[in-house]
Amino acid sequence: MKKIILLLLAVNFVFAQSNNTARSITVYKDGFAIVNEPIIWNLKAGKNIATFTNLSQNLLFDSPKLNVSGVSILSQTLNRNFKSSDSFLKNNIGMPIEVKPNEGSLIQGILMDVNGSSISVKTNKGLTVIHRSQTSFFTLKSSSVQDKFSPEISWELVSDDEKSVEADLTYISSGFLWKPVYTLIIDDSDSTATIAVNAEVTNNSNVNLIDIDLSVVEGNVPFAASSSTSTMRSTTMSRDMSPMSSANSLGDFYIFNLGSKLKLEAMQTVQLPLMSEREIIYDKKYIFENSERDQGDEPLEIEISFENTKQNNLELPLPSGTIYLYENNDENMMRFVGRNNLSQMFKGGVATLDGGKAFDIVGKRRILNFDRQTKSEESTISLQILNTSDKSIKVKAVEKIIGDWVIKESSSMYIKEDASTIYFPLEIDAGASELITYTYRKEWK
């Protein structure tokens, strides 16, 4: 019988690569990537059949494009008749198998079952179940050796003479993801923070990508986009050479180059620096937000914000992602205070983050008077903010009022934010409190 050796990690395919063109992959947020493979073929004069097998199983079958000079391409054929290693194994249940655990000696027997987590082998000592994560390799003795485990593309090429040619294959594949992961560390004794961003890239395909140039794109790109959207133009360089500060625009999107000669193996997730750590200024406010009929006592919500401006050491195209909030306390120990989703932020924009609720800052709201008539309504509201902490704080007391209203009187200055919102900007010393009363009136026909 012939033997087939199957590695539990994805198979590395042998291929010829050009020294002049870098192997590259560009990962989009839509769950797909553009893979570029440089190839070298030694052709004879006349017709040649050239093949390439180092392809993702998730490739879009109408996307491969071969660029090659000095020869004629008569046809391109894509072999889609391939199997996963799991389906191949299941078709060979009952066949002899040898399994090598990471630790221990070789196990020989009959393949009884296989699933995503384990392999069951019947040995002369009974049934043995081996976890696949603890297995180096296994050898399957099978008479069926024609099965393919990846797609294959072949081309019929015509060359005028015997020569070596450099080709460039580009194709689109699903199974690749990326997202930015931000870390914001605030200094509670000051208004400064440090921010850093990593690009988390995931390869859910079967292809090991070695020595690649890796880029990621911010923005959702439709597959029907015209070729003109892929024209790249440079943008102004910022103060450092991080991928984010040296980003190029890709049509109306941004492309970040994470580096060259990188490794992204199958079923692997890696994090690479997208922006080096830098110091910024942040603003911390305590929010007390209520509607007309609300009453009660509750801790205030914490709002942390920062500006994406040059004055704040940023002014960068900040992609949407996950941001982790940490705080340095008086002992310079870092503690986790929250996790937010950061929306895509343009230059000059403001990021507003939820920092949880304050333990020792409480808001009290009372309806002191409510008078409703046939065509009018009038109400007097009391707001009290108690700062029992040992630090001065900034508070934004937000009031939602629906309808055609006016503020008749108020004990404190307020700002009308929109047609249904006013707020009171306050600064309250440590251990102090602030009391606000105001009256609104509504009228209707």
Helix intervals (H) in 299-438: none
102 in helix, strand or coil? coil
**Which has more confidence, 244 or 312?**
312
Residues 6+ apart with CB under 8 A from 397: 288, 289, 363, 383, 385, 423, 424, 426, 436
Asked if 153 contacts 77 with a C-beta cutoff of 8 angstroms, the reply is yes
Q: Tell me: pLDDT of 345 over 70.
A: yes
Q: Tell me: pLDDT of 376 over 90.
A: yes
pLDDT at res. 81: 59
Note the pLDDT tens digit of each residue in 81-140. Answer: 555 566 667 777 888 888 888 888 888 888 888 876 788 888 888 898 888 777 877 777
Q: CB-based burial of residue 311 (10 Å sphere; 0-12 exposed, 13-18 middle, 19+ buried)?
A: exposed
pLDDT at res. 222: 64
Rounded Cα gap, residues 119 and 130, in angstroms: 5
Average of per-residue pLDDT values in the chain: 83
Domains for the chain: give ranges and CATH numbers.
85-142 (2.30.30.100), 285-300+358-443 (2.60.40.290)
Which among 265, 267, 273, 288 has a CA at the least distance from the CA of 365? 288
